Amino acid sequence: MPRQPRLILADIPVHLIQRGNNRQACFFADDDYLFYLDWLRDYAGKSRCAIHAYVLMTNHVHLLLTPALATGVGQLMKRLGQRYVQYVNRCYRRSGTLWEGRFRSCIAQQENYLLLCQRYIELNPVRAGMVAHPGEYRWSSYRANAQGEPSPLLQPHAVYLALGTTDTERQTAYRELFRHHLEPGMIDQIRRATNGSYAIGCDRFREQIEAKTGRRTTPGRSGRPFSNPIQRQSGLPAINPLSNPD
């Protein structure tokens, strides 16, 4: 059975995750993280993808980006993945695959949901118990978005820029969003959407995407075919919890 194409559209934010094969480590030393981020910046520019947020965990990667072209995300991840695997195999004298198949992704409504996805990404080290505060984790975009640390990689989204009229105002407003953790229900929604290549957003947003693409944007009820692109289920089915926070 052919693989279903990813739900990715030009100029609509995408949250994606790429895991290490069998959830094994894919970063082993500081240089690994640094090389990955440097190549991410390079290939993001060539693929016309604006990076808004990221976190590099020991065994997986999260990115939030907006592609100028629908094909840009696939091009970015293919080039970046190949370059990084070549580096790891050469540096650590290994061979074979590093990543767990294809990356998983979901598109996100800009209004109300883009900053939720940014928080989800940058809070990942906290959920994993690695740090008590996102600012303590070196390999994420939090220090740039919330504390003004320079980052040649990031291109702030218009929704983030609207948080204030100056960098200081925006960073202050952004830090306020992290005073509370995300609701468990929202974490589950983001995970389901990302693992299933669906959309996260309000009903109207999902209906617009379905009408435009003819694709389901939420999980369907088991055993029932999806015959109409507007015919959706209002709820989300339960899924097995992930073995590791992501």
Residues 66-69: contacts with CB within 8 Å, 24+ apart? 66/11, 66/12, 66/13, 66/14, 66/157, 67/8, 67/10, 67/11, 67/14, 68/10, 68/11, 69/10
Per-residue pLDDT at 3: 62
Question: What 3-state DSSP class applies to 124?
Answer: helix
Per the domain annotation, does 123 fall within a domain? yes
Residue type, 16: L
Per-residue pLDDT at 115: 96
Per-residue pLDDT at 22: 87
Per the domain annotation, does 130 fall within a domain? yes
Per the domain annotation, does 244 fall within a domain? no
Across 157-174, b (16+ Cβ under 10 Å) vs e yields bebbeebeeeeeebbeeb
Structural domain boundaries enclosing 197:
14-212
Residue ranges, the chain, pLDDT below 70: 1-4, 220-245
The two structure tokens encoding residue 182: 């995300």
d(CA 105, CA 172): 29
**What phi, psi does 72 have (nearest 5°)?**
-65, -35
Per the domain annotation, does 40 fall within a domain? yes
Per-residue pLDDT at 2: 52
Per-residue pLDDT at 218: 81
Prediction pTM value: 0.87
Per-residue pLDDT at 245: 61
Are 222 and 237 in contact, with CB atoms under 8 Å apart? yes
Per the domain annotation, does 226 fall within a domain? no
d(CA 235, CA 221): 9
Q: How many domains does the structure of the chain reveal?
A: 1
Per-residue pLDDT at 138: 97
Per the domain annotation, does 208 fall within a domain? yes
The two structure tokens encoding residue 73: 């995300």
Per the domain annotation, does 155 fall within a domain? yes
d(CA 67, CA 11): 6
**CATH number of the domain within which 133 lies:** 3.30.70.1290
Q: Which residues pair with 63 in a beta bridge?
A: 16, 54
